[in-house]
Amino acid sequence: MRLLFFVLAASLVFLSFAPVALAKPFSSKGTGPTIMIGEIACYGDHELKSDKISTFSDKVREALESEKGFSFVTPEPALDPNVMKRLHMEAIAYGPWFQKEYAGAEMVRFAESVFGEDYFWDDQNLEQRKKGRGKVYHMSPASTDAIRKIGQEQNVKYLFFCNIRDSNIELLHSIFNARTTLDERAKNLKVESEFYLIDTQSGNIYEGHVKTSKSGQILNLLGQYGKAMTAENLLQVMCEVQARNITKEAVGKGRKALEQTP
């Protein structure tokens, strides 16, 4: 009898917690509107290795998760990577910061398939494109509809993409480098990218361009990391700084521009 009572009581306790235990996990953080990552990739002329992209993606995700201006959400179910790739490339091609000479071969072919090869030889077209920087724009009607559908299905306000245009370390040529080790030599460090903040309800897009660079003796740049800091380590730190700068601009200029556009 006691055993039966124990089983019954345990069952009631489980049922009382079941709605919470079985509920879809809520991964949103922050107090602002919901945001979801569509894709972070490299469509620049200098293609990055997958591990570098993964490191940068982790930094961007961490920055968005800690940003109170957004409520970060993990997609459920997972977004189709092929669809995300198509939307990302189209956002890049339509964006006012797109420059064919800095794009990878795949991105160039895609942009030419959208606008035609002659478009990018017309100085008037390119000058008009540059005037759109900092302003909201749209993609094709089909892609805009696809974005709205994703927003409805995922119940998310903003879709986020980021294209790493360039990430590089170059030795500076100087007579002062002759007597220093490779890691101690002065270097140019650069991480340059464009991000795309898309309002899933209106289909409006804000494209932001963020460049983080640093020149100087590697041991003097970030002393708090110790003398073991290598060029590779420093590039990771640069990615972290870049991720924070991207998030800051997305919350400030990007979100503000989208909220002010009907």
Q: 203 to each of 1, 104, 149, 159, 261, how far by Cα in Å?
A: 64, 26, 10, 10, 11
Q: Residue 18: is it exposed, middle or buried by C-beta count within 10 angstroms (0-12/13-18/19+)? A: exposed
Q: What is the pTM of this model?
A: 0.80
Question: Which structure tokens are listed for 229?
Answer: 């800091």
Note the pLDDT tens digit of each residue in 232-241. 677 777 788 8
What single-letter amino acid sits at 172? L
Residue 207, SS3?
strand
Strands 187-199 and 34-41: unpaired
Best CA proximity match to 236, nearest among 248, 221, 250? 221
- CA dist 30 and 13 (Å) reads 32
pLDDT band at residue 226 under the 50/70/90 scheme = low
What's 71's DSSP letter? E
Residue 253, burial from CB neighbour count under 10 angstroms (0-12, 13-18, 19+): middle
Sheet holding 34-41, edge to edge: 71-72, 34-41, 158-171, 187-199, 205-216
**Residue 162 near residue 197, CB atoms below 8 Å:** no
Task: Please write the tens of the pLDDT for every residue from 138-154.
Answer: 999 999 999 999 999 99
User: What's the pLDDT band for 176 if we cut at 50, 70, 90?
Assistant: very low
**pLDDT at residue 169 greater than cutoff 80:** no
> What is the pLDDT at residue 31?
83
- CA-wise closest residue to 157 among 197, 201, 91: 201
Q: What is the pLDDT of residues 49-63, one digit of tens each?
A: 777 788 889 999 999
Average pLDDT, the chain: 80
Of 26-35, 90-99, 206-215, the poorest mean pLDDT is in 26-35
pLDDT tens column, 64-108: 999 999 999 999 999 999 999 999 999 999 999 999 999 999 999
Q: Calculate what percentage of the chain has a pLDDT beyond 70.
A: 72
Closest CA to 36 of 196, 167, 181, 183: 196
* H or E stretch covering 166: strand 158-171
Q: Residue 197's closest CA among 254, 137, 139?
A: 254
Q: How far apart are CA 21 and CA 19, in angstroms?
A: 6
Instruction: Judge whether residue 185 has pLDDT over 60.
Output: no
DSSP state of 48: P
